[in-house]
Amino acid sequence: MPDNPFWTLPMDHMTTGSGTRYELTVLQPPFTVSTAGLPPNDPAQAAAFARSLDTIDDVLEDLGTCKQRDTHTVNTRADLDVVQVGVWGNLMSISEPAFADDGNDMPLLAEATRLRKRFPDARIVGRVEVHCGAEHTEDLVWLPDGTMFHACGWPGDEPFVVAGDPQAVMTALGITAELLDELEVYFDLDDEPDQNDWGALATVCLGDADPWGRSDLDASILRVRHSESATSHMESLYFITG
């Protein structure tokens, strides 16, 4: 099996931290697309998208395909070098364990900023939820006109920091309090930031274009060589000592 030389731990070393989700999605116009009408995943484009990210140096191995309803489970160090990625026409999305964070580096925001420069007309949505000693989330939505929000922190605790203008994002996308109630999303800007479900709001911002959890979409499973900095970052988060 191809390996990443930047790790200092063996491939079968068990992780102690875990990730529920670490997804970054790029939706290019038209934004009214529904996943039900998307073309099949393009494996070559999916590999190219993965390879273009700053956290990934190269794609080492194509491990086949899976349904988007099936998520890759991280149990060992080797699992951290596996990503799930798809390109379905104007929709691109990746599940990348290197996006996990504890609030110090914010790799999701960094990658979204780079993607914003590459795809200025796109809607970019990121959702990360990990448990590396305690639950930490990072969620963002970035619209083509620059309107955005970025929420990062420890749910139910501090620090929890929100940047940008979430109300402006909601207004631009026609998301009302009534719609959130109908979708059973707990979100109220009058509450403390750490009490809101920012990941659920990000999901609503994708709407019918959300590719995750779908049984009718295939994605590529790739073994990658992460960059040295991404590898070091993951090693500090997923292997908790003491």
Q: Is residue 89 part of a domain?
A: yes
Q: For 143-162, how does the pLDDT look when each residue is reduced to its tens digit (9 = 90+)?
A: 999 999 999 998 877 789 99
Q: Is residue 13 part of a domain?
A: no
pTM of the model: 0.95
Say whether pLDDT at 1 is over 80: no
Q: Is residue 1 part of a domain?
A: no
* The residue type at 53: L
Q: Is residue 6 part of a domain?
A: no
Q: Is residue 169 part of a domain?
A: yes
Most confident range (mean pLDDT) of 39-43, 127-131, 236-240 is 39-43
Following DSSP, what letter does each residue of the chain receive, concatenated? ----TT-SS-TTPBPSSEEEEEEEEEEPSPTT--GGGPPPP-HHHHHHHHHHSTTEEEEEEEEEEEETTS-PPP-BGGGGGEEEEEEETTEEEEE-GGG--SSSS-HHHHHHHHHHHH-TTSEEEEEEEEESSSEEEEEEEE-TTS-EEEEEE-TTSS-EEEEE-HHHHHHHTT--HHHHHHTT----TTS-GGGS-HHHHHHHHHGGG--TT-SS-EEEEEEEEE-HHHHHHHHHHHS---
Which are the contacts of 151, defined by CB distance < 8 A and separation ≥ 6? 137, 138, 139, 140, 160, 161, 162, 163, 166, 193, 196, 198
Q: For 19-63, how does the pLDDT look when each residue is reduced to its tens digit (9 = 90+)?
A: 789 999 999 999 998 888 899 999 999 999 999 999 999 999 999
Q: Is residue 124 part of a domain?
A: yes
Which are the contacts of 195, defined by CB distance < 8 A and separation ≥ 6? 155, 156, 188
What are the C-alpha distances in Å from 39 to residues 87, 89, 118, 221?
9, 6, 22, 18
Say whether pLDDT at 78 is over 90: yes
Q: Which band of pLDDT confidence, cut at 50, 70 and 90, is reported for residue 91?
A: very high
Domain membership of residue 114 as a residue range: 18-235
Token pair recorded at residue 47: 């590999």
Q: Is residue 242 part of a domain?
A: no
The whole-number average pLDDT for the span 227-235 is 96
Q: Is residue 197 part of a domain?
A: yes
Domain count, the chain: 1
